[in-house]
Amino acid sequence: MNDNAQIIKLLQDAYNHELEVVTNFIANSINLDGIRAEEIKKALAADIAEELTHAQQLANRIKQIGGLVPGSGKLDFGRLPQPPEDTCDVIGVIKGVIDTEIAACNLYNQIIKATDGVDYVTQDLCISLLADEEEHLVLFRGYLKEYERDS
């Protein structure tokens, strides 16, 4: 696989990841119940637009470097932590978000390494996206500390 094909595949994986995140964040921001869930629901609802923007940025880059943006039939959902059946499981949602953000950070780091010296535009995009994901990770780790302390 040449460098460009490998980069396109990694970008398609990241695109898939971001769209699955949007789907799960919508579900969690709607499904969670209880007073303690309100702040988490608001944070997730706010993140949806940002994650969707990430997907759009990745899609644009895929096209710019000669790839095709996958349609729904080529997406592979179900790899990320799923919304819990218990609609009051706020800690479960927070832990799922943390795992999801760690996976995103790992994927963006992989793309950053793969593009080093080869594709600086894609590398720059993924550095920016990594910074956003790290910010979300810090926020939700903070929520977890508070929720576990109060449990």
Q: What is the residue-level pLDDT of the chain in tens, covering all 151 positions?
A: 455 999 999 999 999 999 999 999 999 999 999 998 999 999 999 999 999 999 999 999 999 999 999 999 999 999 999 999 999 999 999 999 999 999 999 999 999 999 999 999 999 999 999 999 999 999 999 999 998 887 6
Specify the pLDDT at position 149.
84
Specify the pLDDT at position 26.
98
State whether residue 67 is helix, strand or coil. Answer: coil
CATH 1.20.1250.20 for domain 3-150: no
Residue of 96, 104, 112 whose CA lies nearest to 147: 96
State whether residue 132 is helix, strand or coil. Answer: helix
Specify the pLDDT at position 151.
64
To the question of pTM greater than 0.85 for the whole model, the response is yes
Domain boundaries, the chain: 3-150
3-state secondary structure string across 108-130: HHHHHHHHCCCCHHHHHHHHHHH
Specify the pLDDT at position 1.
45
